[in-house]
Amino acid sequence: MTDNPPAVRPTPAPAEQRPRGAGAKLAAAGLAAYLCTAAFYRTLQFLSPYLPENDGYYHIKMAFLMRTTGVMRSFPWARLGLWSEHFFDKDFLFHFILQAFTFGDLQYGAKWAAVLLGALGPAALYYSLRRSKALLPELWLFLLLSSGSFFLYRDLVPRPQILSIFLSVAAMHHILRRQFVWAGVVAFLYTLAYAAPFVTAAYALVFIGACYWVEKKADWRILAAVALGLLAGTLVHPNFPNNFRNWYVQDVQTLLSSWSGDVDLRAGGELSSMNARALVTVSTAAFFPYFGAILYSVLAGLKADAGQITLLITSFCFFVLTLMTKRFSEYWTPFSLWYAASVATQAYREGSRPFGALRRLRGPKGRAALAGGAALAVAALAVLFARSCANVAPSFSRAGPSRMEGAAAWLRSHVPEGETVYTCDWDDAPELFFFDSSHSYLVFLDPNFLYRWDPGLWRLWNQTSNGLNVNLYETMRDVFRARYGFCTSDFTRLRTQMAQDPRFEIVYSSPYNYIFKRGDTRLKGAGRLPDPPLSPGPFETDWLHSRAVSYDFDAGPASAEQWSRLPKEAVSGGIINLLGLGLGADEYACVFLKQEIHMRQDVSGRVFLGSDDGCALFVNGRQVYRNPAARELQLDVDRIDIRLKKGRNSVVAKVCNITKDWAFAARYSRSVLANRVK
């Protein structure tokens, strides 16, 4: 037993009384923490006058366009992918706030926005610690600002996670304090600000579970408040209901694909796994206090309350996610220190070792021991801070002027407004968009936006960019409909391929990138937006196939037998490879491919076919096209007008092969896809 006062928990009693003037002092302390953090961030950010990474160019330009043209309901700068049809400004609130920084030089404004918004997260953590009377809140703030580049860099680039970090800390603060209304308000704002607002519901669920474990009762009002905030934010979002599909792609499919490694989308390094050794050496200021607190809590037998359990479970989940995906380090770092602070506070208040021993130190020897310990602690903190600054500073000091500005200026001067510019990589478009918003770009911001929209088209784009497309000219002309393209200098194989084709010309070149031009302009209006309704949509690959039948081009679908689902491995770049499917024969044979399409209404449209060798097409049992030619496959070479009725329609393609390659590709016009019932 001890006569020391009880520990102050992260979750105070609802009836807590504060002395007069305590609120003003708390606000002043929070403001001081914010200003100190902002001053430190300003020093790092302006080690160079340039932006440290390319996504910031996109976000500040979006804010500028929002201020000058209004809220965006569509995004014509994305030629392909989810945003080309179902745009969702996942960072709407971030862009809304960013408008205040668009009245001068945009890059300068973006850097100041990163400083002032990035400082909110550390200041919010300090405020919460001070509000709960945690032990030495200034120490935990200092450790957070000494935690290395995995946190500091992510909290200091002009990207929406800097607002997400603040909202995440704020949500947890109000949940731990059982402030239902404020928790709902934060959840509402989170829904408008970032692509992962549902972490607030996860916090609430963990807290409810912890309350039930400790207090044997669960108050579901906090979850109800958060759920109402999420629902309200979802419904009022200007791009509702497109947010549902985009959230699923970013929060579920993107992470699952990066973890499984089933397809290499060449996504950003932030989605790669974390090296455990790097986490220890870079984030030392968070790693050792966190795991030290866990170990101490177990060995000392501390009895945690619901708030501390919530922080432990949440921070440990973020730790596991950080090992799987680097980007979660920006959440693990503050939450790990938050948990460590709660354990240290409890140990101090309960007089546990070593705090009890420190209190008993008396006399000159005691004071000398305390002074020596304090000196060692200050020296250790100084070393941590110096290492952290040395670790993160080069990311900002080495930032240079954009390497794409010259190419963007050339595009702006030489390419007609509204044309589509082919981009070899997904991260080219944000920077080009900043300097040249008069054109659209093929793949924008995230490769998942194209892959989840049309996997076959993504594969075709990937093959084309890497110089692996033998039908390069036809693909550029008929599929991507681009006369001009931009590539960084590392796409050497594509440049070599173009150098061997006189129909392509390199019209701009620098040490960092090049622009090519496709010489043939017979495709009238190629590359312009918006597409006419009869232009091709995504590749169609969900067909059933029959067994091979004898080479009789006049035989209809009635001769088909044993329909089977087309395996995924038979499809690459939207092209169905019919060889090796075990159809029964590969030469002097035909196969039927069948598909059922459900339409909302009667529609006149078009189907785009390519085949090796000849093919025929039947719609609802009637033959609408026949071409028995012996040929190589060219995408979209056959363009057939079709009429589909409301309800169920049967589409059957007959593909025949004489010898060697046997392949097929089909796409419907956008007028068909827009009325299709999925």
Task: Indicate whether 443 pLDDT > 80.
Answer: yes
Residue 63 within a domain:
no
pLDDT of residue 79: 87
Q: Are residues 578 and 497 in the same domain?
A: no
pLDDT of residue 524: 42
* Average pLDDT value for residue range 404-433: 93
Task: Indicate whether 322 pLDDT > 50.
Answer: yes
Task: Indicate whether 403 pLDDT > 80.
Answer: yes
pLDDT of residue 633: 81
Residues 299-309 have pLDDT tens digits of 888 899 999 99
pLDDT above 90 covers a percentage of the chain that reads 52
Q: Are residues 27 and 171 in the same domain?
A: yes
Eight-class DSSP state of 478: I
Q: Are residues 317 and 422 in the same domain?
A: no
Q: Are residues 316 and 255 in the same domain?
A: yes
Residue 140 within a domain:
yes
With contact defined as beta carbons under 8 Å apart, do 132 and 75 qualify? Answer: no
Query: Last residue of some domain: 393, 423, 457?
Result: 393
Q: Are residues 443 and 497 in the same domain?
A: yes
* Average pLDDT value for residue range 567-577: 81
Task: Indicate whether 546 pLDDT > 90.
Answer: no
Q: Which domain holds residue 605?
A: 536-677
Residue 608 within a domain:
yes
Q: Are residues 193 and 337 in the same domain?
A: yes
Q: Are residues 475 and 578 in the same domain?
A: no
Task: Indicate whether 360 pLDDT > 60.
Answer: no
pLDDT of residue 371: 66
Q: Are residues 510 and 646 in the same domain?
A: no
Task: Indicate whether 559 pLDDT > 50.
Answer: yes
Q: Are residues 343 and 460 in the same domain?
A: no
pLDDT of residue 430: 92
Residue 239 within a domain:
yes
Nearest to 94, CA basis, from 105, 84, 102: 102
Nearest to 146, CA basis, from 40, 258, 9, 299: 40
* Average pLDDT value for residue range 504-519: 94
Q: Are residues 503 and 547 in the same domain?
A: no
* Of residues 317 and 551, more confidently modeled: 317
* Average pLDDT value for residue range 380-386: 91
pLDDT of residue 155: 95
Beta strands in 492-646 (DSSP E): 504-509, 513-518, 536-539, 544-545, 549-550, 564-565, 571-572, 575-577, 589-599, 603-612, 615-619, 622-627, 638-644
Residue 68 within a domain:
no
* Of residues 456 and 72, more confidently modeled: 72
Residue 558, domain CATH:
2.60.120.260
Q: Are residues 511 and 562 in the same domain?
A: no
pLDDT of residue 579: 82
With contact defined as beta carbons under 8 Å apart, do 634 and 477 qualify? Answer: no
| Distance (Å, whole) CA 413 – CA 433 | 14
* Average pLDDT value for residue range 226-245: 92
pLDDT of residue 359: 56
Q: Are residues 481 and 561 in the same domain?
A: no
Residue 181 within a domain:
yes
pLDDT of residue 613: 84
Quickly state the pLDDT bin for 13 (edges 50, 70, 90): very low
Average pLDDT over the chain, rounded to whole?
87
pLDDT above 70 covers a percentage of the chain that reads 90
Residues 526-544 have pLDDT tens digits of 444 445 566 667 777 778 8
Query: Last residue of some domain: 363, 393, 423?
Result: 393
Task: Indicate whether 91 pLDDT > 80.
Answer: yes
Residue 9 within a domain:
no
Residues 460-470 have pLDDT tens digits of 898 899 998 87
pLDDT of residue 12: 47
Quickly state the pLDDT bin for 423 (edges 50, 70, 90): very high
Task: Indicate whether 522 pLDDT > 60.
Answer: no
Q: What is the 3-state secondary structure (H, E, C) of 78-147?
A: ECCCHHHHCCCCCCHHHHHHHHHHCCCCHHHHHHHHHHHHHCHHHHHHHHHHHHCCCCCHHHHHHHHCCC
Lowest mean pLDDT among 155-164, 179-188, 344-353, 594-603: 344-353
pLDDT of residue 669: 85
* Of residues 223 and 658, more confidently modeled: 223
Number of domains in the chain: 3
Q: Which pTM does this prediction carry? A: 0.75
Residue 87 within a domain:
no
With contact defined as beta carbons under 8 Å apart, do 649 and 596 qualify? Answer: yes
